[in-house]
Amino acid sequence: MTDWQRFAAELGAIPTITDPALVRQKSRDFYWYSPILKKQLDRKFADLVVVPRTEEDVIAVAAKCAKWQVPLTIRGGGTGNYGQAVPLEGGVVLEMTALDRIISLQDGLLTAQVGCKLADIDAATTLGGWELRMHPSTKRTATLGGFIAGGSAGVGSITWGGLRDPGNVISARVISCEKTPRIITLTGEEVAGVNHAYGTTGIITELTVAMAPVQPWMDVAIAFDDFDDAARFGQEIGEASGIAKKLLSVIAAPLPRYFRGLHTPEGKHLLLGIISAASLVPLREKLRRAGGHEFLCAPSDDLSGGRTPLYEYTWNHTTLQMLRNDKSVTYLQCLFPAGRNLELVAEMRAKFGDELLMHVEFLRIGGRVTCSALPVIRYTTEERMAEIIAIHEAAGISIANPHVVTLEDGAGHKKVGDGQPALKAKLDPYALLNPGKMRTYQQAKVA
Ligand SMILES: Cc1cc2nc3c(=O)[nH]c(=O)nc-3n(C[C@H](O)[C@H](O)[C@H](O)COP(=O)(O)OP(=O)(O)OC[C@H]3O[C@@H](n4cnc5c(N)ncnc54)[C@H](O)[C@@H]3O)c2cc1C
């Protein structure tokens, strides 16, 4: 049994949280979107939360965890899904939010500490003409480190692809979990070792990411009578190279009825976009032919009157909007093959009817525009969920299963990076980092 009082005392001045209610709160993420994970993870808590103020603090905590042989699970904003930040075997939760310094912004490259909130980064860099290439729809609460270690793509991916696409994440400074921790820098393709690895392969303290030039972004909402027309329009705008965009999301009725704060025409299917003001004229020209009705156009950064940013109705926020009204729903994560994406989206809608409420987010993968989807599912049983997944996979749609905690079982198209087990062996020889999440990793023999 670990003597947690002694452990905390050995950390000296490094801040810790021992209040049981706060420890429980900081042991949770958004795993409860999945009724399957809710059952498994509701009672998994850390023993202690530690809040490092500096990289030296991080090194000291890693060394103590190695010395005491206790698990260490890293936490950013705690907005991850599938229990990524839930400590399955207790131990320390390392909350990184106090490492929140932007270090430099030069020639379109941002270097920042991992605890920076994504929204704070954009607020600080837009004045100088730069913004993040992509962000999750949790931009207002998620951290830079959590996005790289837990996320995959998001708003901006229609132009820049996913986090794994070469050129988006340039380098990562990573601490090992050993009695004498080492600092290593991963660059270029090596960064895949920590990307979407759930903090199992090392503790990232700093990241360098490529930025995009700021544009005068507009939130644009368009209503369509027919879902397929909206989807075709999304594809057309996605492929229109001259139209600058950050988001193209198509949402099937009746989902928009549940969107708080967005007054949508009843019974219509929506296309929600973030489009450069410079591209509104060509967008509207194409819209005249496509037959949709534009009912909102507002500067994306003008949230006066408490307006919700449009991206907070898309990606996995669509599920959240729905869950606020109906706790029985859940979701799935799909990636449709380019070229057949619209045909397969239509096929799945026809096959599942009301059981699966579709919304798709367009993105550019390998230079081709396709769509991912996080459809809202009316949940019945685990067996039925497995069937729904199998039907998608048999049709050629890739599924990243959000109802499992392990990287191997959940990764799907997000892929467990080839270098991840090797990096874990190097930087986490005692297998203390987020134990239980990299199922196939066998602990190396350590003296
Ligand atoms: C409503 C909703 C919408 C979402 N939309 C998107 C989306 O559009 N795109 C997307 O990709 N994701 C999305 N997500 C998932 C999640 O919000 C993002 O991936 C987010 O970037 C996670 O950041 P965070 O700071 O909250 O990370 P956390 O949840 O705190 O951590 C995520 C994972 O990263 C690890 N980690 C955190 N910091 C570090 C570090 N410094 N070093 C090593 N490992 C670390 C944690 O251990 C954990 O495994 C969504 C989730 C919700 C609930």
Closest of 118, 84, 79 to residue 102, by C-alpha: 118
For ligand 1, whether the C-beta of 149 sits within 6 Å is yes
Lowest mean pLDDT among 132-136, 231-235, 259-263: 259-263
Average pLDDT over residues 150-167: 97
Render 336-402 in DSSP notation, one character per residue.
PPTTTHHHHHHHHHHHHGGGEE-EEEEEEETTEEEEEE--EEE---HHHHHHHHHHHHHTT-EE--T
Q: Which of 50, 51, 75, 332 to mutate to test the pocket of ligand 1 (most atoms within 8 A of CB)?
A: 75
Closest of 127, 143, 207, 132 to residue 174, by C-alpha: 207
- Estimate to the nearest angstrom the gap between the alpha carbon of 247 and the chain centroid: 15
Average pLDDT over residues 6-13: 96
Nearest CA to ligand 1 atom 37: 146
For ligand 1, whether the C-beta of 331 sits within 6 Å is no
Average pLDDT over residues 222-245: 98
Q: Listing from the earlier edge strand, what are the strands of the sheet with 376-378?
A: 329-331, 376-378, 356-357
Q: Residue 317: its pLDDT value, please?
A: 96
SS3 of 84, please?
A: coil
- Say if residue 446's pLDDT is above 80: no
User: Which ligand 1 atom sits nearest the alpha carbon of residue 163?
Assistant: 11
Q: Which residue has the tokens 């270090």?
A: 103
SS3 of 64, please?
A: helix
**What pTM value is reported for the model?**
0.96
Centre of ligand 1 from the C-alpha of residue 36, in Å:
20
- Say if residue 443's pLDDT is above 90: no
Average pLDDT over residues 105-126: 98
For ligand 1, whether the C-beta of 136 sits within 6 Å is yes
Tens-digit pLDDT profile for residues 83-92: 999 999 999 9
- Estimate to the nearest angstrom the gap between the alpha carbon of 212 and the chain centroid: 19
* Structure confidence at residue 418 as a pLDDT band (50, 70, 90): low
Closest of 178, 329, 362, 364 to residue 258, by C-alpha: 329
Structure tokens at 33: 């979107």
Structural domains of the chain, with CATH: 4-95 (3.30.43.10), 102-213 (3.30.465.10), 217-399 (3.40.462.10)
Tens-digit pLDDT profile for residues 62-80: 999 999 999 999 999 999 9
Centre of ligand 1 from the C-alpha of residue 145, in Å:
8
Centre of ligand 1 from the C-alpha of residue 138, in Å:
8
- Say if residue 124's pLDDT is above 90: yes
For ligand 1, whether the C-beta of 137 sits within 6 Å is yes
Contact 416, 436 (CB under 8 A): no
Average pLDDT over residues 268-290: 97
Q: What percent of the chain has pLDDT over 90?
A: 94
B/e letters for 415-436, b = 16+ CB within 10 Å, e = fewer, are bbbebbbebbbbbbbbbbbbbb
For ligand 1, whether the C-beta of 31 sits within 6 Å is no
Structure tokens at 56: 């030296």
For ligand 1, whether the C-beta of 435 sits within 6 Å is no
- Say if residue 415's pLDDT is above 80: no
Q: What are phi and psi of 110, to 5 degrees?
A: -105, 130
User: Which ligand 1 atom sits nearest the alpha carbon of residue 84?
Assistant: 49
Structure tokens at 399: 């599924």
Average pLDDT over residues 319-327: 93
- Say if residue 444's pLDDT is above 70: no
Tens-digit pLDDT profile for residues 282-317: 999 999 999 999 999 999 999 988 999 999 999 999
For ligand 1, whether the C-beta of 30 sits within 6 Å is yes
Contact 159, 364 (CB under 8 A): yes
Residue ranges with strand state E in 142-281 = 169-175, 183-187, 203-213, 217-224, 245-251, 269-276
Q: Residue 248: its pLDDT value, please?
A: 98
Q: Which of 79, 311, 312 to mutate to test the pocket of ligand 1 (most atoms within 8 A of CB)?
A: 79
For ligand 1, whether the C-beta of 82 sits within 6 Å is no
Nearest CA to ligand 1 atom 3: 316
CA dihedral of 403, 327, 85, 21, whole degrees rounded to 10? -140
Distances in whole angstroms, Cα of residue 366 to Cα of each of 162, 228, 342, 373? 10, 24, 18, 18
User: Which ligand 1 atom sits nearest the alpha carbon of residue 202?
Assistant: 43
Centre of ligand 1 from the C-alpha of residue 414, in Å:
14
For ligand 1, whether the C-beta of 300 sits within 6 Å is no
Distances in whole angstroms, Cα of residue 419 to Cα of each of 107, 195, 422? 29, 10, 5
Centre of ligand 1 from the C-alpha of residue 338, in Å:
26
Residues 6+ away with beta carbon under 8 Å from 263: none
Q: Residue 107: its pLDDT value, please?
A: 95
Nearest CA to ligand 1 atom 8: 136
Closest of 246, 186, 206, 253 to residue 225, by C-alpha: 253
Look at strands 109-113 and 102-106 and give their pairing. antiparallel
For ligand 1, whether the C-beta of 193 sits within 6 Å is no
Q: Residue 135: its pLDDT value, please?
A: 98
Q: Residue 441: its pLDDT value, please?
A: 81
Compute the distance between CA of residue 44 and CA of residue 64 in angstroms, rounded to an integer: 22
Q: Residue 445: its pLDDT value, please?
A: 44
- Say if residue 387's pLDDT is above 90: yes
Tens-digit pLDDT profile for residues 329-344: 999 999 999 999 999 9
For ligand 1, whether the C-beta of 313 sits within 6 Å is no
User: Which ligand 1 atom sits nearest the alpha carbon of residue 320?
Assistant: 1
